[in-house]
A = this chain, B = another copy of it.
Amino acid sequence: MQGYDKYAFEPFAVTVDLAVFTVRAGRLHVLLVERGQEPYAGQWALPGGFVLPDESAETAAGRELAEETGLADSTGSAGLHLEQLRTYSEPDRDPRMRVVSVAFAALVPDPPAVHAGSDAARAEWLPYGTPGPLAFDHDRILADAHDRVCAKFEYTGLATAFCPPEFTLGELRQVYETVWAAELDPANFRRKVLGTTGFVEAIPGAARLTGGRGKPAALYRAGPATSLHPPLLRPTTVSPEGKPS
């Protein structure tokens, strides 16, 4: 940071790219946009855009998320999560010019109708893993985002960001099962969640029929806890030689 020279640096474009996840019909979905022009015309890409002169990357990401989904920003408010992932800066990641992209992961509850964004050609929720190769280095960004979300499910209450304001423990469990692609014991899951203070809060008298069959389930709200002690570990997915981050 010594010796600033206004002309010593190459001008970079700085963008944000968003990996926006939701759980719909028991499957993990990602919000993607179809590119209308070269390069990668016709291919799917992550939504994103330029960081404006008076914005931080976080502000730009919140704005883009709102434009694409119609959801309010709010990095902390009711069910909605936006988190910086990392920055991708390989010199050749965009063939046209030097673009440094700050990637974000976002988690939203199910049914935000795809609100055709201001500049988006076509935006759609697609099941995670289904579309072929994405544009640019977006396959890698998406994979990194997925890893991060999976990992954070273990030691944070992040899963509630995928749920509506009021949810049953069965619904919360299905979110975990969907994201982790694993089966969890309902009894033990219940105990762990309820045994962690601040993870969820019971809604006194309420109960919800769970789609016909079965006993009506009690309703819960997301609690104030951000980190879970002890963590909620996923079953056998843990490899003794897995990568750390």
Contact = CB atoms under 8 A, between A and B. Distances in A.
B12 A12 contact: yes
Nearest to A96: B4
A198 B97 CA distance: 43
B33 A2 contact: yes
A48 B12 contact: no
A178 interface: no
A89 interface: yes
B243 A100 contact: no
**Copies of this chain, tallied across the complex:** 2
A104 to B, nearest CB: 10
Contacts of A197: 240
B87 A45 contact: no
Contact of A35 (B2, B46, B240): B2
Contacts of A50: 8-9
Interface stretch (A162-170, A181-189, A221-229): A221-229
B225 A229 contact: no
A3 interface: yes
Given A9-B13, A197-B240, A244-B227, A119 B56 contact: no
A82 interface: no
Nearest to A151: B155
A87 B57 contact: yes
A236 B162 CA distance: 31
Contacts of A54: 91
Contacts of A191: none
13 contacts: A1-B49, A1-B135, A9-B14, A9-B50, A10-B53, A12-B13, A14-B89, A51-B89, A57-B89, A58-B89, A89-B102, A198-B240, A227-B242
